[in-house]
Every structure is written in structure tokens, then in C-alpha cells.
Structure 1
Amino acid sequence: MAMGKAPGDGENGEEVGFAEINITPLTDIFLVLLIIFMVTSSVIVQQAPSGGAQTGLKVNLPKGGATDVTARATDLSVAILSDGRFVLGGNVVSEDELKRAFADAQQKNPDTVVIVQADEGVPHGTVVVVMELAKSAGLGQLAIGVREAK
């Protein structure tokens, strides 16, 4: 057997061609990954119905009657999850990071409205903590996010 020839080559020096790579399974995997990415990204990024503040996570808001607060692009929306974590701009943040965000927002625009979107199961004290952090940073305009009562 001569060097450089594939096993199974004929004695007369004929070269056997290599099989083509089948890309169909690879394409199937990419399509499945694309579908998974599209579904998860639409679940993770949820924009508020008014087109303003964005939390990124689903919060079960309590029902309310008045809907006179319209979120602006400069407003800060803080979501409090049922387990007590704080979410700001789609990211889970600590209390210190929340303080820094409030201070930065106050420096950029003192008229920034802080919209607190707390889950129905969150204790009242946790909501008060977020409101006190905003007030101590100099942001006095506070609003509570609710679902529209039907």
C-alpha cells in the first residue's frame, strides 16, 4: 500500500473520493437553537404597555383603579419580586446598587419619577425600603405600579 492513499484503494492506483459532509443535522441544530433563542428572548424582555419603563421580568402587580401615571424614558422603574429581590432595567440588583442608581438618576434629572412595581406577595416593609432609598437620594416623586382593574 502506497503512502497517501486511503484504505480500500484499488491496486491499479485509483483514488477513492471522500464522502461529502452532510450539513442537514447541523442546520437542524441551528434552527432549533434559533427558535429557543427567539422564545426565551421574548419572555425575558417585556416592555410595559405604555411604552415607557421596562423591568424585564414579569411581576404580578396588584389591581388598582387610577392609571394617571405615564412612564417617561427618564423615569426609573424598580420591580420587587416575590422573593424580595430588586430588579432595575431587567437586571437583579442589590440594595447598594439601587442606591447608586437613584443617586445617578437624581444627578441627571432631579424630576425623575421612581415607579415601584411590587409583586402582590411582597411585604409592605420592602416597598417602604425602596421608597426611602429613593427619597434619601433626593428623588421625591414616587409612584406605585398597578394593573388596571377590569
Structure 2
Amino acid sequence: MAMGKTPGSSDDEGDGAGFAEINITPLVDVMLVLLIIFMVTSSVITQQGPGGGTKTGLKVNLPKGGAADVTARTNDISVAVLSDGRYVLAGNVVAEAELKQAFDKAKELNPDTVVIVQADEGVSHGTVVQVMELAKQAGLGQLAIGVREGN
């Protein structure tokens, strides 16, 4: 049997015989599985944020603001303040003393660390100022407030 001939055809028929069919069902199945995998991993990467673990991974209802001017680097600290006033650092709820220790450690590692405060819309102004004052007391003078882009 020659290559490209349909099964059961003889060599005497010449070049007029058609090609064998290719079953693409397994190919489509594999492509759908890959599509699902890419969709899941892209949402995980988006939640993690650019630069590694700088975001907390928690949903905080940020107030609207202008275009995002600050891009988080790997050595920056992102602190989320939840609507009930709890502090979240690296995905863990921490007390004020633990937050101060984290600021002190960040100052020792890199004095140019930027503290990004991501506060919920319902959080009082005083709570945000308190986090910023803790950062200033630790010697971290570069502060930013996380907002979502508004129209």
C-alpha cells in the first residue's frame, strides 16, 4: 500500500485515490484542556500581581482614583486594611505590633522600600493614617495609597 492511499486500495488504481481522513477529535480535546489550564493560571497570576507576592490576594474594595502611578516591586510592602479595621500583610491578618516589626525589617533590608496602603472604601481616614505613621516611625518615608482606576 502506498503512502496517502485509502485503506483497501491497490497500487494499480494510480494517483486518483484520495487521502485517508485525520481524526481531529483528540486534538480538539487537548486544546480545550490547555485553554482551561491557561485560563486558571492567568487568573492566579493576575491576583498575585506583578512582581511576585506584593499584593495580599484578598479582595479589598478600593476607592476610585486616577491612573495608577505606582508599580509594585518585589521589595515593596503592601498592607491591606479591611473594612473592619484589621491589617493584612502578605495574606495574613496581623496585629499592629507585627506590622511595625515588618516595617522595621523592611527598613533594614532596603531603606527605599515603598509602603502601599490598600484600604477598603469603608475604612476611616484615621486607620489609614495610623498605618502610614507606623511606616514613618520605622523610617520608611515612601508611601503610596492603592486605588482602582476610575473613569
Give me the TM-score of the superposition, normalised by structure 1: 0.67
**Are positions 1:104 and 2:105 aligned together?**
yes
Worse overlay, 55-64 or 138-147: 55-64
Pairwise CA distance, 1:75? 0.2
1:134 is matched with which residue? Answer: 135
Q: Secondary structure at the match of 1:84?
A: coil
Q: Paired residues, what number? A: 108
Question: Following the alignment from structure 2 to structure 1, what is the Cα–Cα distance between the partners of residues 63 and 103?
Answer: 24
2:121 is matched with which residue? Answer: 120
User: What is the aligned-residue identity percentage?
Assistant: 77
1:73 is matched with which residue? Answer: 74
Residues 61 and 120 of structure 1 are in contact (CA less than 8 Å); yes or no, is this contact kept in structure 2? yes
1:64 is matched with which residue? Answer: 65
Pairwise CA distance, 1:56? 2.1
Residues 134 and 140 of structure 1 are in contact (CA less than 8 Å); yes or no, is this contact kept in structure 2? yes
Residues 46 and 58 of structure 1 are in contact (CA less than 8 Å); yes or no, is this contact kept in structure 2? no
1:94 is matched with which residue? Answer: 95
Q: Could you give the per-residue CA deviations for residues 88-142 of structure 1, whole angstroms, max 9, x where no partner exists?
A: 0000000000000000000000000000000000000000000000000000000
For residues 35-50 of structure 1, the aligned pairs below 5 Å read 46-48=47-49, 50=50
| Greater than 6 Å deviation, 4+ residue runs | none
Pairwise CA distance, 1:51? 4.5
Q: Could you give the per-residue CA deviations for residues 61-85 of structure 1, whole angstroms, max 9, x where no partner exists?
A: 0011131100000000000000000
Question: Following the alignment from structure 2 to structure 1, what is the Cα–Cα distance between the partners of residues 55 and 69?
Answer: 18
2:36 is matched with which residue? Answer: none
2:56 is matched with which residue? Answer: 55
Residues 80 and 122 of structure 1 are in contact (CA less than 8 Å); yes or no, is this contact kept in structure 2? yes
Q: Which runs of 5+ in 2 are unaligned?
A: 1-39
Q: Which runs of 5+ in 1 are unaligned?
A: 1-38
Pairwise CA distance, 1:57? 1.0
Pairwise CA distance, 1:47? 1.7
Aligned-pair Cα RMSD in Å: 1.9
1:83 is matched with which residue? Answer: 84
Give me the TM-score of the superposition, normalised by structure 2: 0.67
